[in-house]
Homo-oligomer: A and B are copies of this chain.
Amino acid sequence: MILLIHAIVRIKMSQNNLDAIDRQILTILQRDARLPNTELADEIGLTPAPTLRRVRRLEEEGIIQRYVALLDHKKVGRGLLVLVRVTLDKQTRQGFNDFATQMQARPEVLECYLCLGDIDYLLKVSMPDLDAYQHFLVNTLAAIPGVRNTASTILVKQEKYTTSLPLE
């Protein structure tokens, strides 16, 4: 029983109580996920063994969700980025779920958010060019039942892009 309470306390704490070393690790791995553990250990001033154990713990706790490679959009033929604001017709819960499910299935939709305000959904869509986007808009988005209105904004220049969250 006491063990259980201890376990609960530890889980709760571990989700928010990152110590300075944890934050260092996360900051570095957000910048370079492939840094060898030995070098990571050097940078934070620990030996490789405890460093690796901390990384594994952060992974298991889901604080580190995954490691990904970021590609050059233009060089893989996806130079066009569009933000789409979508308004749905009937604001029933079912309609919302359907829409989100369809967006999850479309690989060109990189991000999809339910949002507050005068619109319902926000999409970030990756496309090769305007032709392809127009095709997506007409044949995919507008074809979804319940979509009342869409407004597109072409993101001309990416001034900043990072996936790194600041860790106080």
* A: number of interface residues (CB 8 Å): 63
Selected from B32, B81, B115, B160, the residue in CB contact (under 8 A) with A66 is B32
Instruction: Tell me the smallest distance from the CB of A120 to a CB of chain B, in Å.
Output: 10
Partner of A165, one of B29, B66, B103, B126: B126
Please state if A154 and B75 are interface contacts (CB–CB under 8 Å). no
Annotate A63-94 by CB proximity to B: 1 below 8 A, 0 otherwise.
Answer: 11111111111011110010100000000000
- In the complex, whether A21 has a CB less than 8 A from a CB of chain B is no
Interface residues of A (CB under 8 A from B): 15-16, 18, 26, 29-34, 61-73, 75-78, 81, 83, 100, 103-104, 107-117, 119, 121-122, 126, 153-168
